[in-house]
Amino acid sequence: MEEDKWCVVRLDDDYNWWVHEVSDNTFYDTELGILDPKQVEHMTDLLSQLKQYGLDDEIVSNAFIPYVIDKEMPKEMFRLRETKDNILSPREHIFCLPNSSGEQEGMFAEFIDHIMTLRIKLLNASFDFKQPLNLEEVKDILHAEQQERYIAGIKTHAFDEIMAILDYVPAGYSLDADIEYEDDEEEDLDLSEFDDDTEESLKIDGDNPTDW
């Protein structure tokens, strides 16, 4: 029987979730964050805008490893267990770990390039630029912004990297269709909303809490 894969995540001062420990310590770089359920929902809402420009559901699904809550731990941490849920149609709240290491190395990077290409298609279709935007130009702009954060000592969470692409609009332009996301304390994941669900699941499953 295959051993369950799990990870422990912590809520940091930036109100993002970061990996604290994983079942396979050789698999994952803990400097990359994990998307919480609200971030996953917001990301998939924005991705739906890219359907008409060729969004590949398989690339999206392969880019993340979905997890669900196993149990709450002290110090604002959760132990999560891997699930087979599809990120685009999950049965319950899921956390999504970027698939950027191990045997699947490169799938998150492929996803980043894919959505950047489609975002550029959307922008070029929406505005009459003198010169159409191109992939390398936008990559350079977003890389420079990320470097500024690094120099300032700010870690770039995976959600920030994704949203920098899905929200990107050249200076002087705006898209009314873009979905706003209030990234403040009030909109962060409410730990209490999972307490009842987690407790009820454990009661239902009895002696076999892994079979959710």
Q: Angle 70-71-75 (CA atoms, 0-180°, nearest 5)?
A: 135
212 occurs within a structural domain: no
Tally of CB atoms within 10 A around 191: 12
Provide, rounded to the nearest whole percent, the portion of the chain with pLDDT above 70.
75
Range scoring the smallest mean pLDDT among 64-68, 140-144, 189-193, 205-209: 205-209
pLDDT score of 90: 81
Residue 123: name the closest of 133, 113, 135 by CA: 133
Verdict on whether the full-model pTM lies above 0.95: no
Would residue 39 count as lying in a domain?
yes
Q: Give the Cα separation of 196 and 179 in Å (integer).
A: 30
DSSP codes of every residue in 79-93: EEEE----TTS-SS-
Q: What is the pLDDT of residues 168-194, one digit of tens each?
A: 999 888 876 554 555 444 455 566 665
In a domain, 211, yes or no: no
**What's residue 112's pLDDT?**
95
Beta bridge partners of 77: 10, 73
Q: Is residue 168 part of a domain?
A: yes
How many domains are there within the chain?
1
Is 60 among the domain residues? yes
Q: In terms of residue numbers, what domain contains 75?
A: 6-205
Q: Would you tell me how many other CB atoms lie within 10 Å of the CB of residue 86?
A: 14
Look at residue 210 and tell me if it is in a domain: no
Q: Is residue 23 part of a domain?
A: yes
Q: Within a 10 A sphere around the Cβ of 106, how many other Cβ atoms?
A: 12
